[in-house]
Structure formats: C-alpha cells, structure tokens
Structure 1
Amino acid sequence: MLEVTVIEDASAAAATLDPVRARLLAELAVGPASATMLAGRVGLPRQKVNYHLKTLERHGLVELAGERRKGNVTERLMRASAASYVISPLALAQVQPDPDRFRDHLSARWMLAVAARLVRDVGSLITGAARARKRLATYALDGEIRFASAADRAAFVEELTRGVGALIARYHDEHGEGGRAHRIVFALHPTVRPEGASPGSDGAGAGSDAPASGGEAPALDRPSTTSDGV
C-alpha cells in the first residue's frame, strides 16, 4: 500500500467524494475486509457495499488483497491502494489554477495557485516514475517559525530571498549538458490554529485571508527533510 497517491482522473475523483465510498476507503486503509464485513461497519446491505467497491476498484482506488472461503461462498478481501489520497488539479483541468496568470508574492490566492501546481506536477512525476519503474528525486523542507513582529517577518523574507537568489545564481547552468530544470517553491503563511485555540499575537488564524508572503524559493522554516522515491 502506498502512503499517498494522487488522483488525476475526474471520474476517480468524483468516486472518492461520495460519502459512502470515502468511508469505505477509510475502512480499507486500516486493513483488508470483505463486502460482508464492511456492510456491518457502515450499516448498508452487502449488495450496496459490493456495488461501491466495484466502482472504487474500477478506478484503482481499492485492490484485491486475497480470498477466503466462508461456507459455500468465496469472499473477496479488498484493501485500499493507498493510505490517503490527494486530488490533483488535473481532475478539473479546465478550471485548474494557473499561477502564471498573475504573480503577486503577497497574495494568499496566488500562493494557493502555486501550491496547486505543485500538487499537479509532483503527482504527474510520481505517476510517470512509477510507470517507468524509476526513482523520483525530490526534496522538501517543512517547519514552523514564530516572528516577534511583522517587521521581523518582512526582514526574514527579504534576507531569505537574497540568500536563495544567491544560491540560484551560483548553481544555475542554463546550458549544462545533461542537466534538468527543477522548480523551487517557497511559501510562508500563518500557522492554522487548532479549533478553539485563543488568537496569537499576530492576529491571524484559521480562515484568515491576511496577506502571506510567497515566492519561488525553498521552504526554510525549522526544517524536517524528506527525499521521496518511487
């Protein structure tokens, strides 16, 4: 089972958005189960559950884990193909965000368009690497930083932009033989507070559309690093 898989097909995405099928996916991410076992958990007739499982299987969202005999019947044990799923903007290709349409480094909505492109591109790369049975070299930083003031936040962004710009200038080779272009993304936004938490001194929280700094540079908060492969 994959940890995360990206759904690029619109009909597959629609299948996961059905509440019953989403519940079945959650159950099958925990472990294999038959339609009979699932029927008792979700409170639906076995035939109805079996219909939903066939739909999910057709889109590659669940797969056969094994079979077992129960009396005179052979039950199919199904499992989710991934622990979690992300819907790519490709599933809504005609209306997917386009960060090249406008560029505003202080726009939260432009940051969202950049993030959507990241999901789309990395999802496509994962799919291509899996088909070719090749590793996909990626790198990410993720963390959190607390600024004492808005002035400190602005100074951080300015210093980070200069530093990353210098690194890009040092390593970028427009005509490097055998080279490959890589996209760099940096995003800085207020941390979303848990529901019911009291507001912090920055005054921004969940649901706020306060300006957030964003640009093309790697995330450099308190870092945790990952390197993904297929």
Structure 2
Amino acid sequence: MLDVAVIEEAAAAEASLDPMRSRILASLAKPGSAAMLAARLGLPRQKVNYHLKELERHGLVELTEERRKGNVTERVYSATASSYVISPTALAAVSPDPARAPDQLSARWLLALGARLVQEVGSLLTGASRAGRRVATFGIDAEVRFATAADRMAFAEDLTQAVAALVSRYHDEAAPEGRNYRMVIGMHQIPAAPTAGGTAAGPQQQTGETQETDTDAGQEPRG
C-alpha cells in the first residue's frame, strides 16, 4: 500500500468524493470483504459490494485475497493507498495557472503554485510508480512567528535575495546531462483550529495583533 496516491482522472476523483465511498476507503486501510465492511460501517452488504466494485474499477481499491468458505468465495480488498490527493489534472479545463497572473503577494497566486506542485509531482509519482523508480525531490517545512508585518516583509526580501543567489550559483543552462527542477517557496499564516463553538479564530485571535490584517493580495492595508 502506498502512503499517498494521486488521483488524476475526473471519474476517479468523483468516485473518491462520494461520502460513502470515502468511508469505505478509510476503512480499507485494514483489508476487508464486503461482509466485514458492512459490519464495520453499519451498512447493507449489497450496497457496500456495489461501491467496492466502483472503487476497484477506478483503481482506488484492489483485491488482495480470495477465501473459500463452503460454496462461497469471499473477496478481500484493501485501499491502494493510506491517503489520496486529487490532482488539478482531474479538472484540467478549470485548473489554476500560475502564469496567468503572477504576484508574489497574492494568496490566490500561492494557491495556484501549490496546485501546479500537486499536478507536476503527482504526474512524476504516477510515472515513477509504473516504472518502479523513485522521484528525486526535496522539501522543507518550517514555522516562523513574526512580531510585526514589517518583520515579515523584511524576511521575505532576505529570503528572495538568498534564493536568487543560490539559483545563480548552481544553475547551469549549458549542462548537457542536466535536468530542470522547479523550486517553489511559499509562506502563509497557519489557520487556527476550530474553537469549542465550531468556528475558527480570526487573524487577530490567532496572533494577538489588534491592528494588522492582510488584504486579499497580501499587501499591507493603508490608512
């Protein structure tokens, strides 16, 4: 079973988003038959069997074992992955394009970059899985708390200069055996967990700030 599988086909995405099929997928982290799933989820066996066949048709679950019980053959399934990510490829006609409106201070542009990251890395993973190979990637995940918006902007400027210097040092356009890699760096506020009332804390509640909020474009408000 894969840690993460990328769903690239619209029909498979639709199948995975069905609430009942989503529950079945989650339950199949541990292999089970239609009868076992019906007992786990409190659903009719016939209904579970129907959804299992649809999930199998789209490659989201796979047959792992067949057990003979008298005159009946019990088919045991498992999910093909522990978790799934839907690639923007599944919505190709309306997937975001970072080249459309590049803006370093736009949250929507950052989202478009993230969507392209899922699409490209997902495509690499799918191809590498079929070829039995690994994908060369690298990632950094860090948290930083800024005292002021000015500090945040200064950090962004320093980071931009550092990245530009590194790219200039290592980029070799003429390397005959070279391979192109895409580097994406983003920064966003971490959403607060829902409160007891079921609502998330707002920006001021999250950070303790009383005046500073970001506009949609990530720019400082005036006045």
Superposition TM-score, scaled by structure 2 size:
0.89
Q: RMSD across aligned C-alpha pairs, in angstroms?
A: 1.8
SS at match of 2:206: coil
Correspondence for 2:208 among 201, 206, 210: 201
Report the CA distance shift for 1:122/1:88 in structure 2 as closer, same or farther (over 3 A): same
Cα distance in structure 2, aligned partners of 1:59 and 1:82: 13
Cα distance in structure 1, aligned partners of 2:190 and 2:34: 41
Deviation (angstroms), 1:41: 2.3
Check whether the contact 1:89–1:120 (CA below 8 A) recurs between aligned residues: yes
Deviation string for 1:71-124 (max 9, x for gaps)?
Answer: 431211100000000000000011100010111111100110010000000000
Deviation (angstroms), 1:210: 5.0
Cα distance in structure 2, aligned partners of 1:97 and 1:36: 42
Identity, in percent, stands at 60
**Larger RCO (CA within 8 A; separation ≥ 6):** 1
Deviation (angstroms), 1:174: 0.9
Check whether the contact 1:108–1:209 (CA below 8 A) recurs between aligned residues: no
Matched, 1:7 2:14: no
SS at match of 1:142: coil
Size of the aligned set, in residue pairs, is 209
Deviation (angstroms), 1:175: 1.1
Deviation string for 1:10-43 (max 9, x for gaps)?
Answer: 00000001111000000002x0011001112223
Partner residue, 1:95: 94
Cα distance in structure 2, aligned partners of 1:77 and 1:202: 54
Cα distance in structure 2, aligned partners of 1:82 and 1:132: 18
Cα distance in structure 2, aligned partners of 1:209 and 1:94: 28
The runs of 5 or more residues in structure 1 that have no matched partner are 214-230
SS at match of 1:141: coil
Larger deviation: 31-40 or 128-137?
128-137
Deviation (angstroms), 1:202: 4.4
Report the CA distance shift for 1:117/1:64 in structure 2 as closer, same or farther (over 3 A): same
Larger deviation: 143-152 or 68-77?
68-77
Query: Following superposition, which runs of at least 4 residues in structure 1 exceed 6 angstroms of deviation?
Result: none
